A and B are shown apart, each in its own frame.
Chain A
Amino acid sequence: MKKARTTIDVTNLLTRAGEEIAARVGPSPNVPSARTQSLGPRVRHAKPVTSVCPYCAVGCSTLAYVSDDGTLLDVEGNPDSPINAGHLCPKGSAIFGLTVNQMRWTTVKYRAPYGTTWEDRPLEWALERIAHLVKETRDKTFVQEKDGKRVNHTLGIASLGGATFSIEENYLLGKLMHSLGVVSIENQARI
């Protein structure tokens, strides 16, 4: 019995070896590596999140594949969209590089008057400083009347918003600025 098993093993071993050699010797042997055998898309277990392309106004729907640990793996077109049916232009195909990019600035920066460089500052400090500047400027430049007519505005503050600015952001910006009395509220939409 024991004996038999070993003999089986031996023959088995030999046939295996034989097969191996047969597979590896020939006019053009085709031997996939372990990596190749287990190859698969990196988004295999990722969660697709529907988003919209931030470039032109065609409004291509995109899928952002996110891994369990929350890292972005890939961004591509959403095949269900009646607009782009999964297709994207070069800019859209590069959205990944827009979010994941070593050149991106992800800290609050401050340049003091007459300064020659940017320096990092705490978010809290910057926001407090900005809020104060807004109040100060508004209070200094607020006009209640002009040639006997109520105007309740300030020309001392202006804002210019981009066009990847979402609707919600436009709405809040408008609401806030109008309430401050700011009238020079502009957007890429005109530019």
Chain B
Amino acid sequence: MSTGFFTDTTLCIGCKACEVACKQWNELPSDGFAFTGMSYDNTVHLSGTTWRHVAFVENVQMDPQGLSDHWSMMSDVCKHCTHAGCLEACPTGAIIRNEFDNVYIQPDVCNGCGYCVPSCPFGVVDMIGQVASNAAYNVATLNQERRERDETAVQGRGGVAGKCTLCYDRQRDGFIPACAKACPTESIQFGDVDELKARAHERAQTLKERGLDASLYGVGWDSSVGDLNAFFLLTDRPERYNLPPEPVLPSTRQPAGYGAAAAAALVMFACGLAIFGRSPS
């Protein structure tokens, strides 16, 4: 069966429990302490060591009645695409599709070539910096020994690619992923993707009836990445949440690329043959 997330932004209270629960379970360091002034969002973006990120989208008028005000929050995560750019790009086979149909980076295999980073059309995958060299306060709560023993996602000194594992290790024993478990309002729901999709369509319908402009992102859409195992219910344009409205699977450009290269190479050969000619002997 394939498992995934249905993230319903209309239930999100922006508490960021998902971010913390994820870091706690996966033993991830903090990314540092910088005030951004971007509403309540100081995480800004998913990173190699931040696998859930809550976006805060303010739609507030200077209207004292506040009737038209919206402040929508959305917990972003790896989309676990049906056709994953990162997975196709990975030269070591570190990134695999596991038995739950999730896209998983094997931290013990990845050698940090970094090719998956530009290959993700959602800007999810990122390199994990040199964790050991981080200031101690970023890792105050982490267990150095476990990292050295390569028992954690951020192994030893890091230097590998990182992203949401959909708590592969937990799923193995039937535990649900940390973020979905923590989420107080069940804005993040985990389960069998088909069931989730059914639930999502139903939900979107009810919200439409309540006059909300609700749409599903990553379900039954025309995109080369296919449906997303982690999909979203949005009430605003995807761009407002920093989601690409029409993601493209990078590998779809390979035929063109190889073709052009071959053509150029042939031309070069031809010139070469013409110029150098065949040896008299």
Q: Is there direct touching of A and B in the complex, by C-beta distance under 8 Å? A: yes
Task: Give chain A's interface residues, CB within 8 Å of chain B.
Answer: 24, 28-33, 35-36, 39-42, 44, 74-77, 79, 84, 86-94, 96-97, 100-103
- Residues of A within 8 Å of B137, CB to CB, are 103
**Chain A contacts for B24, CB-based, 8 A:** 74-75, 93-94, 96-97
**Chain B's nearest CB lies how many Å from the CB of A92?**
7
Q: Which 5 A-B pairs have the closest CB atoms?
A: A97-B141, A93-B21, A93-B20, A90-B20, A87-B184
**Alpha-carbon separation in the docked complex, A164 to B24 (Å):** 22
Binding site for A on B (CB under 8 A): 15-17, 19-21, 24-25, 87-88, 93, 96-98, 104, 106, 108-109, 136-137, 139-141, 143, 150-151, 168-170, 172-173, 175, 178, 181-184, 186
Q: How far is the CA of A8 from the CA of B184 in the complex (A)?
A: 60
Which single member of A29, A33, A77, A86 contacts B109 (CB below 8 Å)?
Answer: A33
Q: Are A41 and B15 in contact (CB under 8 A)?
A: no
Identify 17 residue pairs between A and B in the complex whose beta-carbon atoms are under 8 Å apart, listed by A's number: A30-B97, A31-B93, A32-B96, A35-B108, A39-B172, A40-B169, A40-B173, A41-B169, A74-B25, A75-B24, A88-B184, A89-B15, A90-B17, A90-B20, A92-B17, A92-B182, A94-B141
Q: Determine the chain A residues whose CB is within 8 A of the CB of B88 once the complex forms.
A: 28
Which residues on A sit within 8 Å (CB–CB) of B143?
A: 100
Chain B contacts for A90, CB-based, 8 A: 15-17, 19-21
Check if A42 sits within 8 Å of B96, measured CB to CB.
no
Q: Which of A35, A100, A103 contacts B150 (CB 8 A)?
A: A35
Q: Which residue, A41, A42, A84, A103, has most C-beta atoms of chain B within 10 A? A: A41
Are the C-beta atoms of B141 and A101 separated by less than 8 Å?
Answer: yes
Question: B20 to chain A: which residues have CB within 8 Å?
Answer: 90-91, 93-94
Residues of B close to A86: CB separation below 8 A: 181
CB distance from B258 to the nearest CB of A (A): 14
Closest to A39 in B: B169
Contact B141 A96, beta carbon cutoff 8 Å: yes
Residues of B within 8 A of A30 (CB): 93, 96-97
Residues of B within 8 A of A24 (CB): 93
- Chain A nearest CB: distance from B279 CB in Å? 38
Contact of A36 among B106, B184, B186 (CB under 8 A): B106
A53 CB to closest chain B CB, in angstroms? 12
**Which residue in A76, A91, A94, A101 is a CB contact (below 8 Å) of B181?**
A76
Query: A-side binding surface: helix, strand, loop or mixed?
Result: loop
Q: Which residues of B contact A44 (CB under 8 A)?
A: 173
CB of A89 within 8 A of CB of B17, answer yes
17 further interface pairs, Cβ-Cβ under 8 Å (given A31-B93, A41-B173, A94-B141): A29-B93, A32-B96, A32-B106, A33-B106, A33-B109, A36-B106, A36-B108, A39-B172, A41-B169, A41-B175, A44-B173, A74-B24, A76-B178, A87-B17, A87-B182, A89-B182, A93-B17
User: Of all chain A residues, which has the CB nearest B87?
Assistant: A28
Given A36-B96, A42-B151, residue A103 in contact with residue B17 (CB < 8 A): no
Could you say which residues of chain A place their CB within 8 Å of the CB of B25? 74, 76
The listed residue (B16, B21, B141, B175) touching A100 by CB distance below 8 A is B141
Cβ–Cβ < 8 Å partners of A100 in chain B = 141, 143
Task: Provide the bound-state CA to CA distance between A42 and B140, in Å.
Answer: 20
Q: Tell me how far the C-beta of A110 lies from the nearest C-beta in chain B, rounded to whole angstroms.
A: 25
Partner of B170 from A41, A102, A103 at Cβ < 8 Å:
A41
In Å, the complex CA distance between A24 and B93 comes to: 9
Q: From B179, which residue of chain A is reached at the shortest CB distance?
A: A93
A33 proximity list for chain B (CB < 8 A) = 106, 108-109
In the complex, which residues of chain A have a beta carbon less than 8 angstroms from the beta carbon of B98?
Answer: 32, 36
Shortest beta-carbon distance from A180 to chain B in Å: 39
The residue of chain B having its C-beta at the shortest distance from the C-beta of A34 within the complex is B108
Asked whether A35 lies within 8 Å of B106 as measured between CB atoms, the reply is yes
In whole angstroms, what is the CA distance A90 to B139 when docked?
A: 17
Report the minimum CB–CB distance from B40 to chain A (whole Å). Answer: 12
In the complex, what residue of chain B is closest to A79 when comparing beta carbons?
B181
Q: Is the CB of A89 within 8 A of B184?
A: yes
